[in-house]
């Protein structure tokens, strides 16, 4: 009986040691878990702050890039505008230097108008002596009006006027109205996109016939 009690006491002591050891291990593990949780939280905070800093840096770079892009687009727009202005100026100079001539489209439109609006009223075609390209333009217009079967008379080069462009000149007597042929000539030329102007000549030596006068390309 005494021996059994000793055996039980021995088992109790062993069991107590095991429980104590388990408690120690449990406490150690708990401490380790707590430490790891602290590390995890700290790591999460560090990663979060790092990501925020990185995102902020990327935002700054994007903003800077957008600013540069806007500036570049502005420069391109200015360059395009300057190029357009240069081209228009060049074309204007070329138009002034190029000899005058009817284009194929102008000829078709003008002949079409002349044939639909025939008139027997006579007029003459003249060209200024100073008009360097006047003779070729004279031939163009003369041939087109003849093709349209209008009553055009051969004129000549003259030095007694200093007009520019195309002028439709009629002899103005008192308050008489503009001759119908002068108005028809202006409409005919306008149908082909050709600018002309009607002028009254009050000089005593003015031609009796209405004139389609080819002056210099630009005002004197």
**DSSP string covering the chain:** -HHHHHHHHHHHHHHHHHHHHHHHHHHHHHHHHHHHHHHHHHHHHHHHHHHHHHHHHHHHHHHHHHHHHHHHHHHHHHHHHHHHHHHHHHHHHHHHHSPP---HHHHHHHHHHHHHS-----EEEEEETT-TTHHHHHHHHHHHHHHTT--EEEEEEESS---BSEEEEEE--TTPPPPHHHHHHHHHHHHTT---EEEEE--TT--SSEEEEE-BSS--
pLDDT at 48: 64
What residues have CB less than 8 Å from 45, skipping those under 6 apart?
A: none
* CA separation for the pair 145, 106 (Å, rounded): 12
Residue stretches of the chain with pLDDT short of 50? 1-2, 4-5, 8-9, 12, 15, 18-19, 22-33, 35
Query: Which is nearest to 158 in space by CA: 199, 198, 215?
Result: 215
* Per-domain boundaries in the chain: 1-98, 104-214
pLDDT at 14: 57
Q: What is the pLDDT of residues 46-83, one digit of tens each?
A: 556 666 677 677 667 767 777 877 888 777 787 777 77
pLDDT at 156: 78
| Cα–Cα separations (whole angstroms), residue 149 to 108, 153, 174 | 14, 12, 32
Q: What is the pTM of this model?
A: 0.57
Q: What is the pLDDT of residues 104-130, one digit of tens each?
A: 999 999 999 999 999 999 999 999 988
Assign domain 104-214 to its CATH architecture.
2-Layer Sandwich (3.30)
| Cα–Cα separations (whole angstroms), residue 144 to 43, 63, 97 | 92, 65, 23
* CA separation for the pair 133, 95 (Å, rounded): 12
């Amino acid at each position: 009986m005494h021996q059994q009690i000793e055996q039980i006491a021995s088992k109790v002591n062993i069991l107590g040691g095991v429980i104590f050891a388990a408690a120690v291990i449990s406490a150690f593990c708990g401490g380790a878990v707590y430490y790891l949780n602290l590390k995890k939280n700290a790591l999460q905070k560090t990663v979060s702050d790092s990501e925020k800093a990185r995102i902020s840096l990327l935002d700054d770079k994007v903003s800077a890039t957008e600013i540069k892009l806007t500036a570049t687009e502005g420069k391109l727009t200015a360059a395009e505008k300057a190029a357009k202005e240069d081209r228009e100026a060049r074309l204007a100079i070329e138009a002034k230097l190029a000899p005058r001539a009817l284009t194929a489209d102008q000829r078709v439109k003008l002949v079409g108008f002349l044939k639909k609006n025939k008139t027997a009223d006579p007029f003459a075609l003249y060209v200024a002596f100073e008009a360097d390209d006047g003779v070729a333009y004279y031939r163009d217009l003369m041939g087109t009006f003849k093709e349209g079967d209008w009553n055009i008379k051969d004129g000549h080069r003259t030095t007694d006027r200093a007009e520019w462009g195309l002028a439709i000149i009629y002899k103005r007597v008192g308050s008489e109205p503009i001759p119908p042929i002068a108005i028809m000539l202006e409409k005919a030329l306008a149908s082909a996109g050709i600018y002309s102007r009607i002028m009254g000549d009050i000089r005593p030596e003015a031609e009796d016939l209405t004139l389609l006068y080819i002056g210099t390309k630009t005002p004197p």
